[in-house]
């Protein structure tokens, strides 16, 4: 207890004002100053208390808001962790778990609470994952990744991919984030896919091998059938025997088409088809197709019409064989499925920057196709229905092959059709233009040409061709009731398309002064050509076969109108040309006696002497002792095959160093993709696939030995 004369509260205030608490103020003035200071101190104290209370209140509000925000962020982070399908651990630098998500617990068959605090490297067994490298990466804060690890659990093993990402707080390394994913299903699916791919590749290999073997085995007897039939037709036969022999030949050709179709679809499926790049006279190509198929149309009494646009370039670059194959298929199908009406081939071209988009539309008035069935047509071995095969025949490969060939050339085939109306297949293919001059004729001759044609399509096309020539066309009625008041230079007449008694009317037509002054051109189908030719000889007319080809038509009109007409058949029919004759000796190497006889017969017929060898070893011995003008080498033979025999012959030539080179031509039933390259790689000079036609043989001999 203090002995001070002042109360302790007063002493406290005196000390606050730096006044000696024992003495206090000495006079009234001092006490008044003391009281004023104390009063002021209380004022400041109240204000400080207010500010303090205010600050505390604000701090509480801010702290509450901050707490709410932290809770929101925490809930969001936890939601993200729960939503993750990948397992996640936040690890200390000692690889102990401080955070684990639910996905990790599910994958490991554990709970989040149990995982927290566990050592990852001690608790779990990894394979294909280096523990030392993993721990060093965690300790040093280095990124780490492994795609092919496995995690061994008590009851199972799971395949995982995992990664480490360093974790920093305020710039200081505090741990790492370990993310792992169960890839067992993906890895299993990948293994299944690889297995399926291997099985598919093996199936393709087996299929290709089977087709190659079957092609070889079928082509070998086919070569004998076709070759012997050709030789048989060169002998003296009765009309019945000749008809039988032709039937055999035609049947063999039809079978060969089927074999080639099957090989083509196989090559297209394997993406191994090779396309040529040569100059094509597109108009000539179209006219060749028309010549081949005209007789089929005319035998069915179906009008066959070709319309060629005047803006077709003279030469384009592409694969003429494949384009011809597509057009033959489209046109023959149109004829096959048309019993009444016409088949029309319209060809046009759109040229842009040196490329011509060739468009060939093949339309018919045949049975037509339901809309829902049209997508079947371009599938291999597919037709609209089974009755189609029974009624019309075919394998269902032609359109599928044609469509894939068009696509391979950068084009397409489209279809528009309606049942009972007909169909129109349109081939579009881009081809480089090698000669920009146009194949059409654009001259001005001013001739007057009268048309006696019963078919509207043919008449319209003739008008177009005549307009390109600059001619004036006049339609003439079969009854010739009213004639135009003009002299006619040329009369073009298809007598059997106009009226039944046209032959009787010819005399009347020729008696008309306006018609008698001009030359006459009789149009005819192949099936009526002989009869029309007799009428032409009687009336001094020229004959032009249908379908009318623009080049032959314009040439004949020009000749007749300018007074050069001569009786006879005009057009693209080639005269009968005797077979060319060669000289020299050929060695035929083949293990089949039938094939030997076929080759000998074809070669002897054109003046070439022959010797034979039964296998490659025999051929090598003969070639090493005697030079031949040409060696025809089969490829698959016993003892020594054609490839090895050719290599031995080339090695012998190299060792002798005499500068000699024996011409060796493969004559083989191998017709798969790669067979040509294999023959050339072995040292052969040329290649012919069996069955070999006389025309192929002659063409090769002209090219190789002259």
Are 686 and 631 a contacting pair, CB within 8 Å? no
Q: pLDDT over 70 for what percent of the chain?
A: 77
DSSP label at residue 153: -
Beta pairing partners, 611: 587
Beta pairing partners, 588: 612, 632
Q: Please state the rounded mean pLDDT for residues 603-614.
A: 88
Torsion, CA 673, CA 698, CA 288, CA 223, rounded to 10: -50
What is the chain's mean pLDDT, rounded? 79
Predicted confidence at residue 265, as pLDDT, reads 67
Predicted confidence at residue 484, as pLDDT, reads 58
Predicted confidence at residue 440, as pLDDT, reads 56
**Matching residue, tokens 């007909």:** 422
Q: Please state the rounded mean pLDDT for residues 117-126.
A: 78
DSSP string, 313-363: EEEEEE-HHHHHHHHHHHHHHHHHT-SSSEEEEEEEEEEETTEEEEEEEEE
Lowest-confidence pick of 12-26, 74-88, 273-287, 517-531: 12-26
Predicted confidence at residue 570, as pLDDT, reads 46
Phi/psi for 390 (5° steps) reads -65, -40
Phi/psi for 119 (5° steps) reads -90, 120
> Is a pLDDT exceeding 50 seen at residue 577?
no
Predicted confidence at residue 621, as pLDDT, reads 92
**Tokens standing for residue 419:** 């049942």
**Tokens standing for residue 434:** 């090698």
Helix (H) or strand (E) holding 604: helix 593-605
Predicted confidence at residue 361, as pLDDT, reads 95
Lowest-confidence pick of 135-139, 232-236, 396-400: 396-400
Q: What's the angle, vertex CA 129, arms to CA 125 and CA 135, rounded to 5? A: 85
SS (H, E, C) 459-495: HHHHHHHHHHHCCEEEECCCCCCCCCCCCCCEEEECH
Contact partners, residue 140, CB within 8 Å, separation at least 6: none
pLDDT in tens, 213-240: 676 677 777 777 877 888 888 788 777 7
Predicted confidence at residue 510, as pLDDT, reads 67
pLDDT in tens, 649-685: 999 888 887 778 899 998 877 656 577 888 888 999 9
Predicted TM-score (pTM) of this structure: 0.56
Distance CA(434)–CA(314), nearest Å, equals: 8
682: nearest Cα among 630, 647, 654, 635:
647
pLDDT in tens, 525-552: 877 778 888 888 887 888 888 888 888 8
Q: How far is CA 185 from CA 87, 170, 199, in A?
A: 16, 40, 21
Are 219 and 671 a contacting pair, CB within 8 Å? yes
């Amino acid at each position: 207890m203090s002995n001070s004369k002042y109360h302790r509260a007063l002493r406290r205030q005196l000390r606050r004002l730096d006044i000696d608490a024992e003495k206090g103020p000495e006079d009234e003035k001092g006490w008044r100053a003391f009281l004023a200071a104390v009063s002021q101190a209380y004022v400041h104290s109240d204000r400080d208390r207010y500010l303090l209370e205010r600050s505390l209140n604000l701090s509480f509000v801010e702290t509450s808001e901050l707490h709410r925000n932290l809770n929101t962020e925490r809930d969001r982070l936890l939601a993200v962790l729960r939503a993750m399908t990948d397992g996640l651990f936040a690890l200390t630098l000692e690889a102990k778990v401080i955070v684990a998500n639910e996905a990790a617990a599910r994958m490991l068959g554990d709970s989040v609470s149990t995982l927290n605090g566990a050592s990852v490297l001690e608790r779990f067994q990894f394979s294909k994952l280096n523990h030392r490298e993993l721990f060093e990466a965690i300790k040093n804060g280095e990124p780490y990744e492994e795609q092919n690890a496995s995690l061994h659990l008590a009851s199972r093993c799971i395949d995982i991919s995992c990664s480490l990402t360093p974790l920093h707080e305020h710039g200081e390394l505090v741990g790492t984030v370990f993310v792992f994913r169960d890839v067992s299903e993906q890895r299993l699916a990948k293994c299944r896919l690889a297995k399926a791919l291997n099985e598919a590749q093996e199936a393709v290999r087996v299929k290709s091998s089977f087709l190659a073997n079957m092609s070889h085995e079928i082509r070998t007897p086919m070569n004998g059938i076709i070759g012997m039939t050709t030789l048989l037709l060169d002998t003296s036969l009765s009309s019945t025997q000749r008809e039988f022999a032709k039937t055999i030949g035609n049947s063999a050709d039809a079978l060969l088409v089927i074999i080639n179709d099957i090989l083509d679809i196989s090559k297209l499926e394997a993406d191994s088809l090779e396309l040529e790049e040569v100059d094509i006279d597109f108009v000539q190509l179209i006219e060749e197709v028309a010549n081949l198929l005209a007789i089929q149309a005319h035998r069915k009494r179906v009008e066959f019409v070709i319309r060629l646009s005047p803006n077709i370039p003279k030469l384009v670059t592409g694969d003429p064989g494949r384009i011809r194959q597509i057009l033959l298929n489209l046109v023959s199908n149109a004829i096959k499925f048309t019993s009444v009406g016409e088949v029309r081939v319209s060809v046009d071209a759109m040229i842009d920057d040196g490329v011509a988009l060739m468009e060939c539309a093949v339309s018919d008035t045949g049975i037509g196709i339901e809309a829902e069935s049209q997508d079947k047509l371009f599938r291999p071995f597919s037709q609209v229905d089974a009755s189609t095969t029974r009624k019309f025949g075919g394998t269902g490969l032609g359109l599928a092959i044609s469509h894939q060939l068009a696509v391979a050339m950068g084009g397409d085939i489209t279809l528009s059709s309606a049942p009972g109306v007909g169909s129109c297949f349109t081939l579009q293919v881009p081809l480089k233009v090698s000669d920009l001059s146009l194949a059409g004729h654009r001259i001005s001759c001013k001739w007057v040409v009268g048309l006696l044609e019963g078919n509207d399509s043919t008449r319209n096309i003739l008008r177009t061709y005549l307009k390109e020539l600059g001619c004036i066309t006049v339609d003439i009625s079969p009854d010739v009731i009213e004639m135009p008041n003009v002299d006619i230079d040329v009369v073009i007449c298809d007598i059997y398309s106009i009226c039944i008694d046209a032959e009787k009317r010819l005399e009347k037509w020729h008696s008309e002064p306006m018609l008698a002054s001009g030359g006459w051109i009789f149009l005819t189908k192949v099936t009526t050509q002989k009869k029309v030719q007799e009428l032409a000889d009687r009336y001094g007319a020229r004959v032009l076969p249908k379908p009318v080809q623009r080049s032959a038509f314009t040439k004949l009109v020009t000749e007749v109108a300018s007074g050069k007409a001569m009786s006879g058949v005009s057009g693209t029919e080639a005269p009968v040309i005797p077979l060319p004759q060669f000289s020299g000796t050929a060695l035929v190497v083949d293990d089949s006696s039938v094939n030997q006889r076929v080759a000998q017969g074809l070669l002897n017929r054109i003046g070439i002497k022959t010797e034979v060898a039964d296998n490659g070893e025999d051929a090598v011995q003969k070639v090493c002792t005697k030079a031949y003008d040409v060696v025809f080498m089969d490829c698959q033979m016993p003892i020594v095959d054609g490839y090895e025999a050719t290599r031995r012959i080339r090695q012998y030539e190299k060792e002798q160093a005499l500068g000699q080179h024996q011409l060796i031509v493969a004559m083989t039933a191998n017709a798969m993709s790669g067979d040509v390259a294999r023959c050339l790689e072995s040292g052969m000079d040329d290649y012919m696939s069996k069955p070999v036609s006389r025309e192929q043989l002659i063409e090769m001999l002209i090219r190789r030995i002259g």
